[in-house]
Amino acid sequence: MPELKAPIGTRDVLPPDSARWRRFVGVFAEVVGAAGYGQVVTPIFEELAVFHRIGEATEIVTKEMYDFEDKGGRRMALRPEGTAGVVRAFVEHRPATPWKVWYTGPNFRYEKAQKGRYRQFDQVGIEVLGADDPYCDVEVIALAWQFYAALGLRQVRLLVNSLGDAGDRGRYAAALAEHFESYGDALTPESRHTLQRNPLRVLDSKRPDDRPMIEAAPLMGDFLSAAAAEHFEVVLGGLRALGIPFTVAPRLVRGLDYYRRTTFEFAAEALDAAQNAVGGGGRYDGLVEEMGGPATPGIGFALGVDRTLLACDAEGVFGLPAADLDAFVVDTTGGATALALTAELRAAGLRVDRAFDNRSMKSQMKAADRSGAAVALIVGSDELAAGTVVVRPLRGGGDQVAVPRDHVIDHVVRTGATPTP
Ligand code: HAM
């Protein structure tokens, strides 16, 4: 039989790494939960039409989407990002505004897989629907910033830009098209192709031959309406007031079409430039209407879990959580004592594992060491006869003691383990 493997661009997350993953989402939930955001869970697949609304001129939608026909003949797609589904849910349920939600889960893009760029990748993110206030933009950006700080990341750079209102963006796109077309064939063929579909995306070209033309291109800032320019100024003022350092990046265009006004990205300087975007977001006023809802402004961000963890590795922060088992039960007398003792300890709120299959003392002790538990609770034939259990410290030294069977829980609690409620 051919060897079966996880598909290209996907990975298995195994213990102990999965514990770190879970803690990552836990820290995020705490940071945004403390600011009034509630969790929203939307389907991993939606009708294809939902995603067409987020960018028919973007590669994420035209080239990279996992779309398929279901057995009922409906056109569906795996979500390439989280915002579209959240907005669809908002339109469907019409919750009171401002609606502040957070989410986590996998997304799917048929990308060229490499380190930090996957076909299935997880995000954590927030969205706020129904608030136009520039200080809401500041809150959203500040929460991402606070989360990175909570992980211990120090080398994250915030880039901000304003893409103006729909009219501004259109005028800017036309000016960019004129600018790039004036160079004729000097632009790379890939960028000429992009130019036809979406002139803004040419600014994202990393090809060196395009560089001089991109550097000479007109800037979005010169095309902002007075209202959009003022909104942007208030956002920047709010970031300054909170002491969040930022760089205005006038050529920052995001990979999705729905953005208006404030847009931002977080770059992890400890990672290679090709995949150093650890998060990004912005305003998407207009998207709710596109999905058939009432005129409602929106803003949010999503952070890549995989990439942010790579950034943590590169900075040596947010390591694996310490093993947190309180005890490991070793029983060489047939297992009945381990069965009872484990059940009692767990009922008392302790974290306890045990060996199975009545293995040798040596083999069970090896398993106890590997488990990372604070103590081994050992029952051999002598202990069984005497009605005792040997408590042997596995971490941090100390002598082993024989404890009467009835006092084991008290002893384990007293000597360091904390029962969980
Ligand atoms: P995005 O910039 O496409 O925005 O993705 C956000 C983050 O997801 C990226 O900064 C990156 O960390 C991670 N990411 C994206 N693609 C991949 C990939 N192939 N492999 C690994 N990580 C990846 C959005 O998705 C928007 N929905 C963000 C948003 C929310 N805007 C408004 N609200």
Query: Residue 363 is part of a domain; what is its CATH number?
Result: 3.40.50.800
28 and 105 assigned to the same domain: yes
Buried b (16+ CB within 10 A) or exposed e, 159-191: bbbbbbbeebbeebbebbbebbeeeeeebbeeb
Q: Is the CB of 55 under 6 A from ligand 1?
A: no
Give the pLDDT band (50/70/90) at residue 61.
confident
Q: Which atom of ligand 1 is nearest to the CA of 256?
A: 3
Question: Within this chain, do residues 74 and 134 fall inside the same structural domain, yes or no?
Answer: yes
- Range of the structural domain that residue 154 is part of: 17-165+225-315
Whether residues 158 and 237 fall in one domain: yes
Task: Find the CATH number of the domain harbouring 299.
Answer: 3.30.930.10
Domain termination residue (choose one: 283, 315, 347): 315
Contact call for residues 147 and 307 (beta carbons, < 8 A): no
Q: Distance (Å, rounded) from C-alpha 120 to C-alpha 304?
A: 11
| CA 65 to ligand 1 center in whole angstroms | 14
Question: Is residue 378 in a domain?
Answer: yes
Query: In Å, how far from its chain's centre is CA 289?
Result: 27
182 found inside a domain: no
- Tokens 């500040």 correspond to 142
- Give distance in angstroms: CA of 279 to centre of ligand 1: 6
Q: Are residues 305 and 350 in the same domain?
A: no
**Do residues 65 and 150 both lie within one domain?**
yes
Mutate to test the pocket of ligand 1, among 46, 63, 123, 124 (most ligand atoms within 8 A of CB): 123
Question: Which tokens in the block code for residue 133?
Answer: 């206030």
Band of the pLDDT at 8, cuts 50, 70, 90? very high
Nearest residue by C-alpha to atom 23 in ligand 1: 304
Question: Are 278 and 339 contained in the same domain?
Answer: no
- Average confidence score pLDDT of the chain: 93
- The neighbour count for residue 291, using CB atoms within 10 Å, is 19
Q: What percent of the chain has pLDDT over 90?
A: 81
pLDDT over 80 (residue 14): yes
What is the number of structural domains in the chain?
2
Strand order in the sheet with 120-129: 38-39, 99-108, 120-129, 298-304, 277-283, 260-268, 156-162, 247-248
- Answer for the pair 163, 260: CB distance below 8 angstroms, yes or no: yes
| Residue 82 Cβ contacting ligand 1 at under 6 Å | yes
Q: Is the same domain home to 245 and 307? A: yes
**CA angle 410–416–421, rounded 5-degree value:** 70
Higher pLDDT, 420 or 38: 38
Cβ of 279 closer than 6 Å to ligand 1, yes or no, is yes
Residue nearest atom 17 in ligand 1 by C-alpha distance: 117
* Residue 120 reports pLDDT greater than 80: yes
Report CA(114)–ligand 1 centroid distance (Å): 15
**Ligand 1 atom closest to Cα of residue 125:** 30
| Distance in Å, CA 124 to ligand 1 centroid | 9
